Structure formats: C-alpha cells, structure tokens
Structure 1
Amino acid sequence: MKLVIQLVLLVASAFMGYMIYDSIDSKIKLEEEIRSRKDVVIERLENVKEAQISFKKVKGHYAKSFAQLKHFLENDSLIIVKAIGEVPDSLLGQESKALEMGIITRDTTKIPVRAELFKDNFEKVVSEINIIPFSEGTEFSIDAGEIEKGKVKVKVFEVSAPYKEIFKGLKTDNEGIDMNQALTIGSMTEPTTNGNWD
C-alpha cells in the first residue's frame, strides 16, 4: 500500500511539474508572439507615416482615407528640386545669395511616387498598407484634419490598430492586456507624426 501511495505521489508531482513548465513555456511563447506582432504592425504604421508625409508635401494636407493615399502612391508624382553647381566657401550657408548671383541654379523635376517610395516591394506595400496584420482583413482606422496650436493651424493625421485586432486568435485572457488599447501613429489632438510606442 505504501508503494502504491508513493507511486501515485510521484505521478502527481511529475504531472504538476509538467503543468507548471507548460504554463511558463506557454507564457513565454505568448509574450514572444505579442512582441513579434507589434513589430510587424509598427513597421506597417511607419509605411503609412512615410506615405502620409509624402502626400502632404505634394497636396498640402494629409490623406483622410486609404483610398486617397493609395491613389496618390499609385498615380501621383513627387517634386524633386536639385541644386546645380556648387556654393563657394565664401557663400557657405547663403545658398539664396548664390542663387541670385547665378552661381548655382535649381532644377525642378517630377518623378512618380512609385520610383521614390517603397522601391524594393512597392506593389506589396501599397496593396497591404491599409490592412492591420493578423486581423484577417480589418482596416486601420484613419483620420486627418487641422487643429490650432498656439494660434497656428497645423495639419494632422492619425492611424491606429486596436489590440483586439492585432492579437486576434491569441489566448490573452488573464494576461493583463487591455484589448481596448491600440497602436497609433500621429494624433488628431497634437501636431505629431510619432507612434505611441516611441
């Protein structure tokens, strides 16, 4: 009888040990997956930011929808201004004076956006730019407009992805993750193009 009890205790402690190990291992894997997913989403939000900044340089405001942004990326051009000639040492920091004197000239050219942005994989970046990775097709929320800061009107944009979409399919219950939070780039209340992870 003593042997049976010892055997039962041995099996029970081995099972408990496995359960603790499995729980710790699962938590580590979940944390790695959360970090990895955040990195992928941040990379896509950084692409949105780059596209929005280029859009504003050409249009004077940010795109309010992904349809606008995609149309710009696929069909529009960027204006590139190049200085031809060299500013002499005596006029360093006075490019406008060198321009007036005819020492340098400026050449303005238009190049397609696709030739400048996301050169390595333009088609893929543009086709996916509006979709939250891991969300099974949900779009980022996007907005743009104008705010007043210190009596100056400033153009702003905001793009965000809620955690509930980023972490879709993961077992996040009891992990202390607020699924109402989001990864956001830009702001509709502050003149910034930074992400809330910076």
Structure 2
Amino acid sequence: MEKTKIISVVFLVIALGIAYYLGSSIYTSITETERIENMENRVINKLSMIREAQIAYQTVNGNYTSDWGKLKSFVDSGEFYLISKIEHIITLDYGADSVYVELDTLGTVSVKDSLFSAKKYPKFNLETLSKIPGTKDAEFGMWADEIEKGGVKVDVVEVWDTAPTNPARNEKNEARTRKPLRFGSRTNITTAGNWE
C-alpha cells in the first residue's frame, strides 16, 4: 500500500508540473501575440502619418521625397493653398458646350495644423516621425523616385519597417502581407499599405 501512495504522489507531482508548463506556454504565447499586435498597431499608425505627409509633400512639390529632413521641414513649415474653383459652362450657337474654369487663391493653411491636428493625432511629435515605435533609434526605411509606367514618368514612394517586432515578417516572404509593414511600392503607382 505504501508503494501505491508513493507512485500516486509522484504521478500527481508530474501531472501538476506538466499542467503548469502547458498553462505557462499558452499564457506566454497569448501575451506575446498581444504584444506583437499592439506594437504593429503603433507602427501602422506611424506609417499612416508618414503616408499623409508624403502625399501632401507630393501634392505641393510635384514629387515624393526620400529625405527625412525635407519631409519633417515640410510638415513643420509647409503650407497648402486654399483654392476656389468655379466652372462656367456656355452653350454655343451650334449646341456644343464650352467650359472655362475660374480659379481663385483664398489663402494658405499650415500642413502641420491641417494634417496633424491635436484632435486627430493627440500625441504627434514631429521629431520622432521617422522613428519606429518600440525601438531606441531604428528609423523607417524610405525610398522615393520616378519610374516609367506605360511610357509616362510617375513618382513612387515606399516606406517600410526596418525592425519588425513580429519575427514572422521578413523580406524573404513571398506574400506582400507577410513582409515587414510598409506602404507604397517601387514598381507600382500606389500608396496602399500591406496591412490594408
């Protein structure tokens, strides 16, 4: 009878050890998944800010930039023109329409106040725009150039996370959605993000 009790106690201790190990593994896995999701959401938010800045820069200057200094300077002190556009349609004697457009510049508005207002981005900090959240000094990679598409030169931009939190995200992945978080493309005319 004594042997049976000893064996039972040993099996109980082993069962409790295995249960603790499995429970701990599952908890750690869930916690790590939540941490990665949280960090990726912060990176996506920052990439969205950068995308807005790049689109505004391209609208005002006619091209994208791959220089963080120029982009930050533009966000800090750049301005949009407020333009009123009125179309006039005149019906000609022979039934055709003639259209002329009247443009009037009403004034300017600051890029920083327009795109990055405190209401939209309460914790916006221009100095850390290029920094990847959750890292000490890692910066987003940024590339901008002109490519030829269908015989026409077009501007393209790509900004990507150089230090992904998720170890499954790397450049070797075939699927665009499994590559490090990014928006834009070096080969296509798009500013879509691979998280969308």
Shift of 1:106: 2.9
C-alpha distance in 1, partners of 2:85/2:148? 35
Q: 1:78 aligns to what SS in structure 2?
A: strand
Tell me which residue corresponds to 1:117.
115
My pick for the range that moved more, 74-83 or 115-124, is 115-124
C-alpha distance in 1, partners of 2:56/2:77? 13
Q: 1:119 aligns to what SS in structure 2?
A: coil
My pick for the range that moved more, 119-128 or 62-71, is 119-128
C-alpha distance in 2, partners of 1:130/1:143? 13
Structure 2: stretches of 5+ with no match in the other structure: 90-96, 172-178
C-alpha distance in 2, partners of 1:154/1:71? 24
In the TM superposition, what are the counterparts of 1:33-182 in structure 2 within 5 Å?
33-83=35-85, 97=100, 99=101, 106-120=104-118, 121=121, 124-162=124-162, 165-167=163-165, 177-180=168-171, 181-182=179-180
CA RMSD in angstroms, aligned pairs only: 2.6
Q: In the alignment, which of 188, 193, 196 is matched to residue 195 of structure 1?
A: 193
User: Does the 8 Å contact 2:160/2:181 carry over to 1?
Assistant: yes
C-alpha distance in 1, partners of 2:141/2:128? 14
More helix by share: 1
Q: 1:188 aligns to what SS in structure 2?
A: coil
C-alpha distance in 2, partners of 1:133/1:182? 14
Q: 1:18 aligns to what SS in structure 2?
A: helix
C-alpha distance in 2, partners of 1:123/1:28? 28
Shift of 1:83: 4.6
C-alpha distance in 2, partners of 1:16/1:109? 71
User: Does the 8 Å contact 1:41/1:166 carry over to 2?
Assistant: no
Shift of 1:166: 3.2
Q: 1:145 aligns to what SS in structure 2?
A: strand
C-alpha distance in 1, partners of 2:18/2:107? 71
Identity of aligned residues (%): 31
Alignment TM-score, normalising by the size of structure 2: 0.81
